[in-house]
């Protein structure tokens, strides 16, 4: 940018930040990191402390406006090299962003739970997609199985068309084998164990040869659940052991007893 363009862009962006017009937690953090570098490089006439105050004020206004969207992945992204804060001011803002994000996630989760138990019956394809989707409507980073009537879910899976059985299997693989699992997913272990047991009983009761494709796909889902459960035990052995035999376990996103998305 030319000097005048840069000055105008800085002024415009800071006005948007101060007015709470940034609509994502990640957006606030990304902008802050850039502007902190501007401060350190002497490109803008602000100190880190002034910048921090401006961003915190804007964050509170965004909360009041109801425009902020929670971002489940940020609870892990904030700890990654290249994203994690490196200054006291950055750490202060990061902590506040974490708090805001968790509060928003808990609120979103409570709303989602209201419809979660019926969605797999009315819209199984949408439910299956959401299991591994990473967009704002997805549950890739959210424990959900502990909220479902598992016996009914097992019957629903058994009755799915083969194409959706396969997609359900793929969604489970994407959910549990292709991304990091955090300790909060331990609350799903009891439900996954129950689901695996129900599907396995269905397979055992229909020991026929040749194996119908529909039954083979259920067997594949059972194998995927076995791997998922084993991985949960390895990732969170102590917590998983504590909840493995528990029927009703509240979601534990922030170890404060509330659920989150």
Q: Do 42 and 138 belong together in one domain?
A: no
Shared-domain flag, residues 63 and 130: no
pLDDT tens, residue by residue, 132-186? 888 767 888 888 898 888 999 999 999 999 999 999 999 999 999 988 887 888 8
Its pTM stands at 0.55
Check whether residue 135 and residue 67 sit in a common domain: no
Residue 254 lies in a domain: no
Q: Is residue 61 part of a domain?
A: yes
Q: How many domains does the chain have?
A: 2
Dihedral pair phi/psi, residue 24, rounded to 5° = -140, 150
Last residue of a domain, one of 105, 133, 164: 105
Crossing angle between the packed helical segments 3-18 and 25-41, to the nearest 10 degrees: 140
Q: Please check whether residues 100 and 178 belong to one and the same domain.
A: no
Say whether both 97 and 145 belong to one domain: no
| CA separation for the pair 136, 261 (Å, rounded) | 9
**Domain interval for residue 185:** 123-243
Number of C-beta neighbours around residue 65 at 10 A: 12
Q: Domain boundary residue among 74, 105, 136?
A: 105
237 and 151 inside one domain:
yes
What the block records as the tokens of 125 is: 């394809």
Q: Give tens-digit pLDDT for 192-218.
A: 999 999 999 999 988 788 999 999 999
């Amino acid at each position: 940018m030319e000097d005048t363009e840069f000055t105008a862009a800085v002024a415009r962006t800071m006005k948007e930040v101060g007015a709470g017009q940034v609509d994502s937690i990640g957006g606030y953090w990304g902008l802050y990191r850039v502007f902190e570098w501007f401060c350190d490089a002497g490109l803008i006439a602000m100190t880190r402390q002034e910048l921090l105050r401006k961003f915190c004020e804007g964050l509170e206004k965004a909360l009041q406006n109801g425009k902020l969207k929670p971002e489940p992945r940020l609870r892990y992204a904030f700890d990654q090299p290249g994203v994690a804060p490196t200054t006291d001011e950055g750490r202060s803002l990061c902590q506040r962003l974490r708090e805001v994000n968790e509060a928003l996630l808990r609120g979103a989760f409570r709303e989602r739970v209201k419809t979660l138990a019926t969605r797999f019956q009315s819209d199984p394809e949408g439910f299956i997609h959401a299991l591994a989707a990473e967009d704002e409507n997805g549950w890739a980073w959210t424990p959900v199985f502990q909220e479902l009537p598992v016996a009914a879910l097992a019957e629903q899976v058994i009755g799915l068309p083969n194409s959706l059985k396969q997609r359900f299997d793929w969604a489970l693989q994407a959910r549990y084998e292709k991304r990091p699992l955090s300790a909060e997913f331990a609350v799903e272990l009891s439900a996954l164990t129950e689901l695996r047991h129900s599907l396995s009983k269905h397979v055992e009761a229909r020991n026929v040869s040749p194996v119908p494709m529909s039954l083979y796909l259920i067997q594949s889902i059972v194998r995927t659940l076995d791997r998922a459960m084993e991985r949960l035990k390895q990732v969170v052995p102590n917590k998983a052991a504590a909840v493995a035999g528990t029927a009703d376990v509240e979601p534990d996103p922030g170890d404060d007893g509330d659920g989150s998305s």
